[in-house]
């Protein structure tokens, strides 16, 4: 499994712990899109880069860290085709995969400790989308997303034509 991982400067330490943890997992490859030691970045840029890479299919899943996980999650969910979830407990982490088919897990270094974060990532990596009754719900999310994508595309075309 290929994992894209990213962080801002507020979560650099947790990202590094997670990279070391993931490298111990057989069959898991990790690519770091995040801030490096001492570097200040805008978290939306990191979230966008990871989300686009996952949406293109370059990576199977993504993990994003910031102070709370919220800003990264909001940004990642702006990328068409992405379902990102902020998870800080085992149940939400499992359901994000099984019920919502979330491809990106977001966490906050200011909220969660490294041991729990590693445990949650392990849960998240082991879970697959369950399908069943969740399939029509995830499909509906995709339909809603497509509706807004088409509306925005039509508005851009009107702007380009000067209408």
Q: Print burial letters for 19-34: b (CB count within 10 Å at least 16), e (below 16).
A: bebbeeeeebebbbbb
Degrees to nearest 5, angle at CA 67 with 106 and 142: 30
Q: Is 87 a catalytic residue?
A: no
Q: Which of 7, 66, 73, 87 is catalytic?
A: 66
DSSP state letter for 132: G
105 neighbors 93 (Cβ within 8 angstroms): yes
Fill in the DSSP letter of residue 112: -
**Distances from the Cα of 16 to the Cα of 2, 11, 38, 86, 155, angstroms:** 17, 9, 13, 19, 42
* 61 backbone dihedrals φ, ψ, rounded to 5°: -150, 165
The neighbour count for residue 113, using CB atoms within 10 Å, is: 11
- Residues facing 29 on adjacent strands: 2
Q: Which residues are catalytic?
A: 66
């Amino acid at each position: 499994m290929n994992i894209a991982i990213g962080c801002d400067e507020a979560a650099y330490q947790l990202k590094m712990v997670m990279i070391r943890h993931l490298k111990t997992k057989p069959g898991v490859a990790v690519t770091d899109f995040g801030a490096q030691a001492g570097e200040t970045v805008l978290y939306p840029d990191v979230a966008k880069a990871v989300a686009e890479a996952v949406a293109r299919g370059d990576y199977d899943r993504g993990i994003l860290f910031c102070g709370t996980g919220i800003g990264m999650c909001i940004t990642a969910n702006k990328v068409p085709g992405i379902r990102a979830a902020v998870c800080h407990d085992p149940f939400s982490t499992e359901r994000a995969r099984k019920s919502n088919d979330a491809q990106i897990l977001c966490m906050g270094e200011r909220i969660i400790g490294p041991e729990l974060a590693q445990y949650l990532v392990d849960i998240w990596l082991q879970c697959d989308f369950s399908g069943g009754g969740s399939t029509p719900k995830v499909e509906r999310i995709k339909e809603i997303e497509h509706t807004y994508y088409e509306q925005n595309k039509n508005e851009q075309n009107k702007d380009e034509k000067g209408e």
